[in-house]
Amino acid sequence: MPATRRLIRVTGTVQGVGFRPFVYRHATALELTGSVRNDSAGVFIDVEGEPARISELARLLVEDPPPLASVGSVTFEDAEPLGRPGTFRIVASDDAGSTRTVPVSVDTATCADCLAEVDDPADRRYRYPFTNCTNCGPRYTIVLRVPYDRPSTTMADFVMCDACRREYDDPQDRRFHAQPNACAECGPRLTWRAPDGAARADGDEALRIAVELLRSGGVVAVKGIGGYHLAVDATDVAAVRELRRRKARDDKPFAVMVRDLADARQRCDLDERAVAALVDPRRPIVLAPRRAGAAVAEGVAPGLPDLGLFFPYSPLHHLLLAGVDRPLVMTSANSSDEPIAHDDDDAVARLGPIVDGLLTHDRRIHIRCDDSVARAAGGHLQLLRRSRGYAPEPLPLPFPTAAPVLAVGGELKSTVSVVRGDEVVTSHHIGDLEHLATWQSFRQAVEHLPALYGVTPEIVAHDLHPEYLSTKFAFDLDLPSVAVQHHHAHVASCMVEHGRREPVVALAFDGLGYGPDGTLWGGEVLVADYAGYERAAHLRPVQMPGGAAAIREPWRMALVWARAAGRSDPDQLGLAPAGLDATAVHAVADLVDRGGGRPTTSVGRLFDAVAVLLGCRKHVTYEAQAAIELEALARAVDRDDARSFAEDVPFADGVLDPAPLVDRIVEERARGIPAAVLAAAFHESIGLATARVAHDLARARDIDAVVLTGGVFQNVRLSEIVVRELDRSGLTVLTHERVPPNDGGLSIGQAAIAAFGAGR
């Protein structure tokens, strides 16, 4: 049979993931000739041989690519056969800076092959904590610049030994061009440091000291892939209490790292989706219901029904867990929503005072990257924080774009995005910008991300809120800017992940977002596409007395909603927080009566209010803490048994008024109906009432899809009620999966809206 020749182009995340050796191995086995190389668009294959064998190679590219590759497209072109004799070759990249536009891949958990080596006393990588290969290891967190090769990473500090170099140069080897390739001979080393930073031991001895300390209740800082964790034995009540005391801040839950599935199952009830997420090489923290009697200290997640579990994702984690032989609290080493500590000097300065020692190493972390957080909701997995393992993987935009855009996101849970070609690339989770250290991290991300992707932004997109630091930053850039309304951005972010182009009806419910009328929105029913939106309906506005104080002290919102429901005597509501007398409550009541406080339509604040009225906490240490307790309270009642007072949420003239519902809840509570029953009824009522509004609007406008977005839809119970109702009526419901429903998704929506506008 005459030979044919085909030119094959593969796009997507195909560099730094072992793609060329993969092609080489198969082409050689199929006795094809030609070459494979990386270029600016991805991977280019020039192959010659029997047509059936070329087809087989093509099939493998499409159906069975290397584990870390994410193939965007494979295109073919016939060419004149050259009749070249010889073999198949890997050709060095045609550099000239053109590989700049190729995506950087994500940090990936240690693969089974590498783990087997780490566990094998006969292997030269036995117990080596930085073992990796082309199928696993750090990527985004160590990249300084592109093209992605060793000198452009923090591994440039280490010169490969002969054995490592041979692996690196051998196309048949699993470590061919694995940029972070290393061994104990030539690679990064562990160091044990005292709290004052003094080096006390290294290598296996450092690990042994850390294990000993953890086993005896100590607090240890552990340098990982994207930053430092603070670790303690998760089953040791005193150690966990001590960690909370030393961190001295709030009740935010700690994540727990477990060794394996058996261990995870002892702590939490896991369904299929949760198991799949735990074992996924992206290794998110997975929230799942805590099992009754599970051996985990109560202080790990105070007052919460869920635990956040995750699996080890570096050889160091595996060795540490094997040594301690207990689950470990592994919480980001930071305070509040400051960025995770990642720089060694900074770690000693910030963490030294609160730890008994630091288990650190000499591979620099260039981009700090917190752990991602996911939970199972409504039949799929939903990311609540999209960071390590997911960033900076691009998402396709469902329309062609004309201009490179930088989107700077919101204020809390900050991320930034760039539009490059027809994709949007989003940074790691940066945090809450009000902290100086977070602000510096934001500045770094805004520089680094466009540079990494070879994008020179021509447009900057930002939130409408004039006081967000990100907005002010956008105004200071010398670029045309596009202000995007907060909830419009939430809606667009959800449309992007579903590839949706046509208009949608959207329920955008969250804490707060700036409305064009200067009030604080947060209970919005929008008709929207990328070109614009219409505020078709919203929650009844009420005052928010004391601004941010109303977020920290949800009893203020309870007072406001009770008054909206006609219950004007604050003393009857039992709102006076512990340690405060009734005077404070009366002062706020007076403020409300005088019309003080900005108007808000926030559904998040409504949930806060009802939580307090049903006896949940009156003060919170993190946003939505009371609302989360309310959802937890409702879990005692099966959804099928929940009562509904949806008729008490009247809808007229585009305004949905929950005041009669609040009134009824207070009344039934006073009659002695259990709080759990009323919490369930509240979820049911708000879910049914809002689903009905969305449904009627969709039918009236002839729109077939409804988006659920905003931080309130992190509430699984509410989401499931709304999804069930809309599903029943035949509408398509678009919920968040890969993009967080909270403000972590804003930059994606902003980027899409600005890019769409620029293309018209």
Q: Which residues bind Zn ion (CB under 5 A)?
A: 111, 114, 133, 135-136, 161, 164, 183, 185-186
| Closer residue to Zn ion (CB): 111 or 369 | 111
> Could you give the dihedral angle defined by the CA atoms of residues 433, 434, 438 and 440, in that order, rounded to the nearest 10 degrees?
90
Which residue in 65, 62, 32 sits closest to 46, CA to CA?
A: 32
| Closer residue to Zn ion (CB): 84 or 124 | 124
**Which span (47-55, 268-276, 509-517, 588-596) binds Fe ion, by CB under 5 A?**
509-517
Q: How far is the CB of 704 from Fe ion (least distance, A)?
A: 25
544 binds, among Zn ion, Fe ion, none (CB under 5 to 8 A by kind): none
| Closer residue to Fe ion (CB): 141 or 471 | 471
* Cβ proximity of 748 and 740 under 8 Å: no
| Closer residue to Zn ion (CB): 109 or 550 | 109
d(CA 221, CA 228): 6
Q: How far is the CB of 313 from Zn ion (least distance, A)?
A: 12
| Closer residue to Fe ion (CB): 242 or 510 | 510
The residue whose two tokens read 């992605």 is 148
| Closer residue to Fe ion (CB): 623 or 743 | 743
| Closer residue to Zn ion (CB): 158 or 561 | 158
Q: How far is the CB of 455 from Fe ion (least distance, A)?
A: 26
d(CA 670, CA 550): 25
- Under the binding rule (CB under 5 A), the answer on residue 510 touching Fe ion is yes
Q: How far is the CB of 473 from Zn ion (least distance, A)?
A: 39
Q: How far is the CB of 737 from Zn ion (least distance, A)?
A: 27
| Closer residue to Zn ion (CB): 184 or 348 | 184
| Closer residue to Fe ion (CB): 404 or 513 | 513
Q: How far is the CB of 184 from Zn ion (least distance, A)?
A: 7
- Under the binding rule (CB under 5 A), the answer on residue 463 touching Fe ion is no
Q: How far is the CB of 559 from Fe ion (least distance, A)?
A: 24
Q: Using CB under 5 A as the criterion, what x/- string covers residues 184-223 for binding Fe ion?
A: ----------------------------------------
Question: What does the block give as tokens for 707?
Answer: 């988006």
Q: How far is the CB of 182 from Zn ion (least distance, A)?
A: 6
d(CA 113, CA 240): 34
DSSP 377-445: ETTEEEEEE--TTTTT--EE-SS---S-EEE---SSSB--EEEETTEEEE----B-TTSHHHHHHHHHH
Which residue in 248, 294, 242, 246 sits closest to 268, CA to CA?
A: 294
Question: What does the block give as tokens for 392?
Answer: 């900076």
d(CA 689, CA 725): 10
- Residue 521 CB: number of other CB atoms within 10 A? 29
510 binds, among Zn ion, Fe ion, none (CB under 5 to 8 A by kind): Fe ion
d(CA 40, CA 96): 10
320 binds, among Zn ion, Fe ion, none (CB under 5 to 8 A by kind): none
Q: How far is the CB of 623 from Fe ion (least distance, A)?
A: 11
Q: How far is the CB of 526 from Fe ion (least distance, A)?
A: 13
60 binds, among Zn ion, Fe ion, none (CB under 5 to 8 A by kind): none
Coil, helix or strand for 28? helix
Q: How far is the CB of 741 from Fe ion (least distance, A)?
A: 9
d(CA 687, CA 680): 11
CA distances from 52 to 3, 57, 83, 465, 599 (A): 10, 9, 17, 60, 69
* Cβ proximity of 551 and 604 under 8 Å: no
d(CA 662, CA 671): 14
**Which span (283-291, 494-502, 505-513, 553-561) binds Fe ion, by CB under 5 A?**
505-513
d(CA 593, CA 456): 52
Q: How far is the CB of 119 from Zn ion (least distance, A)?
A: 13
Q: Which residue has its beta carbon closest to Fe ion? A: 510
107 binds, among Zn ion, Fe ion, none (CB under 5 to 8 A by kind): none
| Closer residue to Fe ion (CB): 401 or 714 | 714
Q: Using CB under 5 A as the criterion, what x/- string covers residues 512-541 for binding Fe ion?
A: -x----------------------------
183 binds, among Fe ion, Zn ion, none (CB under 5 to 8 A by kind): Zn ion
Q: Using CB under 5 A as the criterion, what x/- string covers residues 717-746 for binding Fe ion?
A: --------------------------x---
d(CA 653, CA 648): 16
d(CA 412, CA 426): 15
30 binds, among Fe ion, Zn ion, none (CB under 5 to 8 A by kind): none
| Closer residue to Zn ion (CB): 124 or 435 | 124
Number of residues lying near Fe ion (CB under 5 A): 3
- Residue 444 CB: number of other CB atoms within 10 A? 16
| Closer residue to Zn ion (CB): 115 or 591 | 115
* Cβ proximity of 310 and 224 under 8 Å: no
d(CA 253, CA 251): 6
Interface residues toward Fe ion, by CB under 5 A: 510, 513, 743
